[in-house]
Structure 1
Amino acid sequence: MLKTSRGLLCLVFFLCGCASYNEKIAGYYKQISEGNYLQANTELNKNKLLQRPRNQLLYLMEKGRTCQLMGAFEDSNTYFNQADSLLESGLDGTADAIVGTLVNPMTQTYKGEDFEKFMIHYYKALNYLHLGKKEDAVVEARRISLQSQEQDDKFNNKSNRYSKDAFSLMLQGLIYESDGDVNNAFIAYRNAAEVYLNSKDKTWYGTTMPKTLQEDVLRTADLNGFKSELARFEELFGFKYQAKPLSEGGEMIVFWENGLAPVKQQQEFFFSLIRSNDGSLVFTNATGTIFIPYNTSYGNNDIDLNSVESLRATYPKYVARPQHYSSATVSNGQTEATLEKTEDINELAFKTLDQRFAKEMGKILTRLAVKKAAEYAIKASAKKSGKNGKDNALLEGLGFGVQLYSLLSEKADTRNWQTLPGQISYARIPLQKGINNLNLALKGANGTDSVKIQARGTGKLQFYNYSTLR
């Protein structure tokens, strides 16, 4: 019994001594938010938590992002390509599922949020464009279609789920257009626009359809001679297309990545397991406002209800981080364009996590119920052990150990790609031939800050992205 107690005490210290993901990565994120990217890279390299195999995807995404912020575009894509390969090869496995069942989701391999996968394509494409590798950027644009199809298949084209990413489709159109492929550019722009048009309130996860996107749909329809499509979208958008003269120096697409993505924290829920009128097992909370079916893949329906009086479950929640700037404009000295929000990662994070609450909570609660039933069975065996005091004490200690382990090991998975921006906005700005001096004006509660951008007008479509990660 003494040895059992010592073992349990060690277990308590082990489980209680595990700091949260956010706490263990705090040094890295602090350097990122302060713009100290070299120091952030050093912090990242020496972080033991991110070096663990289960966090390899997170490590690669963070390395890719940090290198991108430093302007090391080739290195950035080396890491993003490795992350891409991991996702393509699949991160699921029987052993991984067993670990999650016996311990908690935090001990499983991190598989990435759906919107994080699209963001890998965004940064890879930008890196290729910065490096002048337009053919590789076009390949990345095509891969956005594959990612979109995979996402669409995942939710069987459900309009109320994150089955497409309007921003990625719009980006795809821009890349095709920069390569002179106005036919595929129109298709991509049209697909992005229809994501908005097919939604119930004509918005998509915190964004309304940018006017720039509408103009791109009409312009490329006109360039392709698609008169019926032009007329259809003029009616849908509510305005007539007016062709504008092309600028000699081409145009620049300015992306503004504002703020940082929300972080995950742990929250607690308390449920009871009951049998419904049709005889099936259902978890319900104290107020009776949540009902979640028992997941039979973790166990059968003949579980002893007496053993599962109350279950404490943990689930992650997102916490948004304040943004220093609220809007931005870009000017070339003659024309000023307002940057329009085109991707709201804050909104995506909150809503996609809520959408999968019932499914994931069902797995969590069923796993806890199975653990609770095992604990109850061991304690019941201890009572039946009769006169054998040693066996009785051992079983009681084991039952207590299972109870303590279940309580202390239960943790929500609070991992996520936290150096993503909170929002992305963009604008088109015309360029003159030769050197152009642009001004990006960032507006916040304390006034306006200016960023000077120098670009050489070549007659082509160019790209620039700027991050304000605070």
Structure 2
Amino acid sequence: MRKQYFFSLLVLLPLLILTSCATYYQQNIKFQTSVANGELPKAKELLESDKGKTGKNRILYLFNKGWLNWMMNENTESNTALEEADKMIEDQQKNYGLEALALITNPNVKPYKPEDFEVVLVNYFKALNYLNIGKYSDALVEVRRVNEKLNQLNDKYPDHKNRYQDDAFAHIVMGLIYDANHEYNDAFVAYRNALNVYENSYKTNFNIQVPEQLKWDLMRAAYRTGFNEELRFYEQKFNLKYETKPNDGGELVFFWHNGFGPVKSEWSINFTKTSSNNGFVTFANEQYGMSFPIYIGDKSDNEKSGFSKLSFLRIAFPKYLERKPIFTNADITANGKTYSLQFAQDINGIAFKTLNDRMLREMGNAILRLATKKALEAAARKENENLGSAISIVNALTEKTDTRNWQTLPYSISYTRITLPAGENVIDFSAYSHNPSTPKKETLKFNIIKGKTIFYTYTSIESLPPVE
């Protein structure tokens, strides 16, 4: 039986040789290049012709389809794709056959399981689609789900939770939508929650300060709700003085998506077997201060023998490669007044920290995976030297980490809210790079209705390629 199983692996050898080196980003470089060049129709054509639209990578296909539809103002189509992705994530069940195969090959054989921050960004983009078509109540439902999902995800990690446990920007968007609906009490609560997350989590974990716009919105919501004591408290806390201003027009909430988030590559770490007793073998890395005991008491005698001969493991893990955006900051100008777009969400930073937290949780499983492969190799070699050598080759080729990820997400999100007179308004958007003499400029027009709020998202796709 074992020989038949090993033989089935050997049949895959040519395929493993062809696919063992390229990362997911490299395998999809034509699509990524089209996206980076702003050739969205071409990117859409490439996406639809991709064999990955079915099978284990369907969620990634739906992520990219939803993003492309959103970029092309196809909001209903975008939400259809994202809703399917959302349901697939909720319905993901362990396929134990694939789990077993992954244990002796690598995680790429399984359907893609999104990172926690990717899971909740599905709802953020669904909310943007609803905002674009004026369905603010539906948008509010989606934004609420961001932090509901984060709570559910972190409940699964009692021993090592993510540093990304609450989303400050989601609270801001909730507050902005409540504000647009003139529900100022709820807006105040949402803004206050956002402030708490920035101060207690984002500042420490992601080096993000409280946006000035949030401070003013919080004080304004307190004033409109009649929370005079709270207004005075925040005026003192922020060292600002809130002043009411007449508003005979409407408001524009302007989001700026800058650049692209990171892509996954891989790195490796060495572990040495330090002990073996009471049914456990322990592998450790002194440099990183890591030690992981693995129970092998339920293994076969041949596998135990294989484990006993192991002294060293080199394990592959995913890592992120940053794609630095070309632009560092931006502003909008209306009626002679300039408003800075304030940094509010660091998706790049959240990605790096979330992956690091996951790796600390899953290191033991990775060690078990490779140790099992090595033990099976030793067991096969004991039965047949040639078979053992062949398995050794297969193991070397399949010791590959999962480099799949959602690669059309923005690097960061900034925003501002401005008051505009009713009627048509001309807005000048300017984005600045390290060479401030050549900003990118674009003129936009908005029809403002008295007492109403418009939401708009501007995307700058200009980014540098990923670097090691």
* Same fold, TM-score > 0.5, yes or no: yes
Cα shift at 1:279: 8.9
> Where do residues 279-298 of structure 1 align in structure 2 (5 Å cutoff)?
281-285=281-285, 287-296=286-295
Q: Tell me which amino acid in the other structure corresponds to 2:27.
A: K
- Structure 1 distance, partners of 2:209, 2:298, is 45
**Equivalent in the alignment of 2:269:** 269
Question: What TM-score does the superposition give when structure 1 sets the normalisation length?
Answer: 0.88
**Equivalent in the alignment of 1:435:** 424
**Partner SS for 1:112:** coil
Cα shift at 1:294: 2.9
Percent identity over the alignment is: 35
What's the CA shift string for 1:224-281, capped at 9, x where partnerless? 223443344444x432441331432221111111111111111122222222899953
**Equivalent in the alignment of 2:136:** 134
1:453 to 440, 444, 457: 444
Is the Cα–Cα contact under 8 Å of residues 5 and 397 in structure 1 kept in the other structure? no
2:457 to 432, 452, 465: 465
Indicate how the Cα distance of structure 1 residues 72 and 222 shifts in structure 2: closer, same or farther if over 3 A, else same: same
- Structure 1 distance, partners of 2:394, 2:445, is 59
Cα shift at 1:117: 1.9
Q: Tell me which amino acid in the other structure corresponds to 2:34.
A: Q
What's the CA shift string for 1:320-344, capped at 9, x where partnerless? 1121111101110232111111111
Q: Tell me which amino acid in the other structure corresponds to 2:440.
A: D
Cα shift at 1:299: 6.2
Is the Cα–Cα contact under 8 Å of residues 295 and 363 in structure 1 kept in the other structure? no
Is the Cα–Cα contact under 8 Å of residues 55 and 109 in structure 1 kept in the other structure? yes
Runs of 4+ aligned residues of structure 1 deviating over 6 Å after TM superposition are: 3-9, 157-160, 276-279, 297-302
What's the CA shift string for 1:274-316, capped at 9, x where partnerless? 228999533223x543323134499679945532122121111
Is the Cα–Cα contact under 8 Å of residues 28 and 40 in structure 1 kept in the other structure? yes
- Structure 1 distance, partners of 2:132, 2:72, is 13
Indicate how the Cα distance of structure 1 residues 210 and 402 shifts in structure 2: closer, same or farther if over 3 A, else same: same
Cα shift at 1:398: 2.4
- Structure 1 distance, partners of 2:42, 2:327, is 24
**Partner SS for 1:356:** helix
- Structure 2 distance, partners of 1:449, 1:10, is 54
Q: Tell me which amino acid in the other structure corresponds to 1:451.
A: E
Is the Cα–Cα contact under 8 Å of residues 428 and 442 in structure 2 kept in the other structure? yes
**Equivalent in the alignment of 2:203:** 202
Q: Tell me which amino acid in the other structure corresponds to 2:397.
A: L
Structure 1 stretch 93-102 or stretch 412-421: which is displaced more? 93-102
Structure 1 stretch 53-62 or stretch 10-19: which is displaced more? 10-19
**Equivalent in the alignment of 1:390:** none
Q: Tell me which amino acid in the other structure corresponds to 2:15.
A: F
Q: Tell me which amino acid in the other structure corresponds to 1:460.
A: K
- Structure 1 distance, partners of 2:296, 2:419, is 58
**Partner SS for 1:208:** coil
- Structure 2 distance, partners of 1:124, 1:53, is 23
- Structure 1 distance, partners of 2:9, 2:140, is 57
Cα shift at 1:203: 4.4
Is the Cα–Cα contact under 8 Å of residues 235 and 241 in structure 2 kept in the other structure? yes
Cα shift at 1:111: 1.6
Aligned length: 451
**Equivalent in the alignment of 2:230:** 229
**Equivalent in the alignment of 2:40:** 37
What's the CA shift string for 1:363-402, capped at 9, x where partnerless? 111111122122222323x3xxxxxxxxxxxx22222232
Unaligned runs of 5+ in 1: 383-394
Cα shift at 1:100: 2.0
- Structure 2 distance, partners of 1:161, 1:186, is 25
**Partner SS for 2:328:** strand
Indicate how the Cα distance of structure 1 residues 298 and 134 shifts in structure 2: closer, same or farther if over 3 A, else same: farther
Question: What TM-score does the superposition give when structure 2 sets the normalisation length?
Answer: 0.89
RMSD: 2.8
**Equivalent in the alignment of 1:426:** 415
Indicate how the Cα distance of structure 1 residues 338 and 76 shifts in structure 2: closer, same or farther if over 3 A, else same: same
Q: Tell me which amino acid in the other structure corresponds to 2:79.
A: N
Is the Cα–Cα contact under 8 Å of residues 118 and 165 in structure 1 kept in the other structure? no
**Equivalent in the alignment of 1:388:** none
**Equivalent in the alignment of 2:155:** 153
**Partner SS for 2:186:** helix
Indicate how the Cα distance of structure 1 residues 213 and 8 shifts in structure 2: closer, same or farther if over 3 A, else same: closer
Unaligned runs of 5+ in 2: 463-468
Cα shift at 1:133: 1.9
**Equivalent in the alignment of 2:465:** none
Q: Does 1:412 align with 2:413?
A: no
Cα shift at 1:109: 1.4
